[in-house]
Amino acid sequence: MESYFHSFQKIPPNDIEDGIQVKTIGLPNVELRYMEFAPGTMIPKHTHSETVVTLILEGKMEFTVARETKKVSKGDLFIVPANTEHSGSTGDKKVTAVSWSSKGQ
């Protein structure tokens, strides 16, 4: 690692789906993501091989983990266990969030 300090502002976004931009910092054992979801974005059902923890920084969205659906907003945190199907959708405003996961689980 070259530095102990990083900025998501200096990382170019990666468009992973229509309306979803992600900036990623990959460290040896942890991956951090800053995500922006455009208004009206649908997050399709998918899974990850690692557990992901997400914190909503701004906005509101509806999110489903397994068979449980909740409306989440600023300050809410949710956990998606490894290999668990999840999906979501935003309302009429942008949503920003950060997530992190451990590598090598």
Query: Mean pLDDT for each consecutive 10-residue tract of the chain (105 residues)?
Result: 79 89 90 96 94 97 97 98 97 97 72
Query: If one looks up domain 13-102 in CATH, what number appears?
Result: 2.60.120.10
Structure tokens at 3: 């530095």
Distance CA(20)–CA(87), nearest Å, equals: 13
Distance CA(29)–CA(89), nearest Å, equals: 29
Distance CA(24)–CA(103), nearest Å, equals: 13
Please give the model's pTM, rounded to 2 decimal places: 0.89
Answer yes or no: are the C-beta atoms of 14 and 24 closer than 8 Å.
Answer: yes
